[in-house]
Amino acid sequence: MKVLVVGSGGREHALCWAIAGSPLLTKLYCAPGNPGIAAVAECVAIGVLDIATLVGFAQDNAVDLVVPGPEAPLVAGITDAMEAVGIACCGPTRAAAQLEGSKTFSKEICDAASIPTALWERFDDAASARAFVNRRGVPIVVKADGLAAGKGVVVAATEQEAIAAIDAMMEQKRFGESGSTVVIEECLVGEEVSLFALCDGEDALLLGSAQDYKRVGDGDSGANTGGMGACSPVPGFPVKLEAACLELIIRPALAEMARRGMRFRGILFAGLMLTGEGAKLIEFNVRFGDPECQVLLARMQSDLLPALQAACDGELRDFDLRWNDQAAVAVVLAARGYPETPEYGSVIKGLDQAAAKPGVSVFHAGTEAGPDGAILAAGGRVLTICGVAPDIQQARDRAYAAVDAIVWPEGFCRRDIGVPRP
Ligand code: AMP
Ligand code: GLY
């Protein structure tokens, strides 16, 4: 099989790494990829939103399967465009990607399918949104309806914060049209976990769960980020509860999507809050998380590639995936200044020494190759260092031993990934 992975982050490096190990693979491309991905795939310089060029490339190179990593090309219709020329693409259509692309859409699906989630209301004008906040009080959560690069959610502890969020989204158009509609919802309290399933339109196969560390600083301090680390399995989220959430949240969503003629294929990522009243959905994403993907694939024993193909073919019903009984911890190394103003261009050394450590994988994200073969920082999140071992503590020790082998004074990471939370 010839496969094209779309994206350039640590998630896509992990996808390429897993797919490259498949005996079914004959050729692996990645667009645009990164220097780490170049070790396992042929990188082609096409941007993730340049869908017409991606389709042309896939046709010219007889690609059998396209695997998009990030949400943006899915919301922009990459699956529709590939399928229109007869190329399988393991992701939802543009219509089905609204599960992530529009908060009001996903909330309507939840209500229609009786999926437990925070109580919510939709607002198209700022005055009624402000009045609602005044009436309901705090804490309260304000969300831009559309995609906002992970920055469109404000968990407001004070009315002032909530009003400021409404003004920024709806009046100042901080996220453009994405914020012209907002969802305001009840604030859920509890432990957050991410649950992943591979879906074929009708059936869903559990890919396991992971916990993301969203804040930039130790002890969950500082700004929200795309994710500073992850671990899997999640302590306190047993396999039995995973299976229950599959029945309670994922399958009803698939059924409702199918009922509306928008069969969901690809990865469905349910962000959950384990509240006192049970698990509730915070949001759906229509792709793997980054860095959750890295820890999930590190634990996967089965060949990922035939599973992705079966999802496209609607044949997951009799499929089985195996996992090793190891734990995985991923630590993100970011460039100083991330998430606000990461500094680019510094030299990173010691990557080979880090990767040579037992039970360690080094995944590249925002890196670029320097003229003399050096690896330079070229993004906010730059590397994911993943440790695998029989338990979380040892996986963590392995990941941090590898982190400490990397010589990069301009980079930083959290030191508490995988440490039990108080
Ligand atoms: P994201 O959309 O991934 O940027 O999500 C932002 C984060 O906001 C989530 O991971 C939660 O921590 C938080 N969040 C979103 N909705 C709620 C809610 N209803 N109650 C409490 N926290 C929430
Ligand atoms: N790490 C969270 C996400 O990928 O959305």
Ligand 1 proximity of 155 Cβ (cutoff 6 Å): yes
Whether the per-residue pLDDT at 97 is higher than 80: the answer is: yes
Shortest-distance Cα residue to atom 7 of ligand 1: 153
Q: How far does the centroid of ligand 2 lie from the alpha carbon of residue 313, in Å?
A: 27
Residue in 363, 366, 347 with CA at minimum distance from that of residue 355: 363
CATH of range 2-89; options 1.10.3470.10, 3.40.50.720, 3.40.50.20, 3.30.300.130: 3.40.50.20
Beta-bridge partners for 89: 66
Contact call for residues 307 and 30 (beta carbons, < 8 A): no
Shortest-distance Cα residue to atom 19 of ligand 1: 187
Residue 177: the pLDDT is 83
Residue in 49, 109, 117 with CA at minimum distance from that of residue 81: 49
Identify the band that residue 375 occupies on the pLDDT scale cut at 50, 70 and 90.
very high
Distance between CA atoms of residues 108 and 106, nearest Å: 5
Ligand 1 proximity of 192 Cβ (cutoff 6 Å): yes
Shortest-distance ligand to the CA of residue 271 = 1
The residue extents of the domains of the chain are 2-89, 125-180, 191-313, 328-412
Residue 392: the pLDDT is 96
CA 28 to chain centre: 21
Spatial strand order in the sheet of 42-43:
42-43, 27-32, 2-7, 65-68, 88-89
Q: Tell me yes or no: is domain 328-412 CATH 3.90.600.10.
A: yes
Residue 365: the pLDDT is 98
> What confidence tens digit (pLDDT) does each residue in 196-251 have?
999 999 999 999 999 999 999 999 999 889 999 999 999 889 999 999 999 999 99
The number of beta carbons lying within 10 Å of the beta carbon of residue 408 is: 21
* Average confidence (pLDDT) over 322-345: 96
Q: Calculate what percentage of the chain has a pLDDT beyond 90.
A: 93
- The tally of CA atoms less than 13 A away on the side-chain side of residue 353 is 11
Contact call for residues 49 and 39 (beta carbons, < 8 A): no
Is 328-412 in the same CATH topology as 2-89? no
Is 42 exposed, middle or buried, given 0-12, 13-18 or 19+ CB atoms closer than 10 A? middle
Phi, psi of 324 (to 5 degrees): -80, 160
Whether the per-residue pLDDT at 176 is higher than 90: the answer is: no
Residue 420: the pLDDT is 82
Question: What is the number of the ligand 2 atom nearest to the C-alpha of 212?
Answer: 1
> What confidence tens digit (pLDDT) does each residue in 98-138 have?
999 999 999 999 999 999 999 999 999 999 999 999 999 99
Q: Tell me yes or no: is domain 125-180 CATH 3.30.1490.20.
A: yes
Structure tokens given for 137: 């009080």
Residue in 362, 366, 422, 359 with CA at minimum distance from that of residue 396: 359
User: Which mutation among 283, 286, 287 tests ligand 1's pocket best, with the greatest number of atoms within 8 A of CB?
Assistant: 283
Beta strands in 301-380 (DSSP E): 327-335, 347-348, 360-364, 367-369, 375-377
Ligand 1 proximity of 150 Cβ (cutoff 6 Å): yes
Shortest-distance Cα residue to atom 4 of ligand 2: 289
Ligand 1 proximity of 188 Cβ (cutoff 6 Å): yes
CATH superfamily of 191-313: ATP-grasp fold, B domain (3.30.470.20)
Residue 148: the pLDDT is 82
- The tally of CA atoms less than 13 A away on the side-chain side of residue 179 is 24
Identify the band that residue 362 occupies on the pLDDT scale cut at 50, 70 and 90.
very high
Residue 371: the pLDDT is 86
| DSSP secondary structure string for all residues of 123-186 | ESSHHHHHHHHHHH-SSEEEEESS--TT--EEEESSHHHHHHHHIIIIIS-TTGGGGSSEEEEE
